[in-house]
Amino acid sequence: MADEAVFHIGIKALVLNEKNEILLLKAGIKETMHTKVEFWDMPGGRIKQGHNIKDTLLREINEELGCSGTNVKIGEIFDASISNFKASHGQNVSLMLITYLCSLNKRVEFRLSDEHIEWKWTPVSKAKELLKTKYPHSFIEKLDVLQK
């Protein structure tokens, strides 16, 4: 039983704009006092016990971007996959990512949380390269359906 995988569930927003670009956030996480890990990701976070998917996604978008729920439209599920990242917390924890297609009100202004150091709208082809660190090959290849 000690070798059984433990999973957390992450809910992600694949936010597209009118130019069919994906909203990416650059995370800057301190791993130790001397090491900082930076990678590109999409808005979202882990679902907490007793919370539902929609509330989790709206909460995370609000926390990470400063956008209220009235500025967010949550669409259908785009993908479900296992992240390339592992969280340790004293055990082997994998992250299941459930990604929803989303859009934001055009006039929304972003106010980044302390978790992120930068944001940008990114063409799908470039987003595929930037997301490879966290997302599995199956997710990256699926992004092709978004290219016009």
Pair of tokens at residue 18: 């009118």
Question: How high is the pLDDT of residue 7?
Answer: 84
**What ranges do the domains of the chain cover?**
6-146
Backbone angles phi, psi at 9, to 5 degrees: -110, 120
For residue 97, CA distances in Å to 28, 36, 40, 122 come to 19, 23, 15, 20
Question: How high is the pLDDT of residue 45?
Answer: 93
> In terms of Cα–Cα distance, which of 18, 28, 88, 107 is closest to 64?
28
Burial of 64 (0-12, 13-18, 19+ CB in 10 A): buried
pLDDT-derived band of residue 1, with 50, 70 and 90 as boundaries?
Answer: very low
Q: Return all residues near 67 (Cβ < 8 A) that are at least 6 apart.
A: 61, 104, 105, 108, 110
Architecture of the domain made up of 6-146:
Alpha-Beta Complex (3.90)
pTM: 0.88
Q: Nearest-5° angle of CA 75, CA 83, CA 23?
A: 45
List, for residues 64-123, the tens digit of each pLDDT value: 999 888 889 999 999 999 998 766 555 678 889 999 999 998 788 899 988 899 999 999
Residue linked to tokens 């290849």? 141
- Can you tell me the distance from the alpha carbon of 124 to that of 100, in angstroms, rounded to the nearest whole number? 16
List, for residues 20-57, the tens digit of each pLDDT value: 999 999 987 656 556 567 899 999 999 998 999 999 99
19 dihedral zone (left: phi>0; alpha: psi -120 to 50; beta): alpha
> In terms of Cα–Cα distance, which of 44, 22, 40 is closest to 96?
44
Question: How high is the pLDDT of residue 148?
Answer: 66
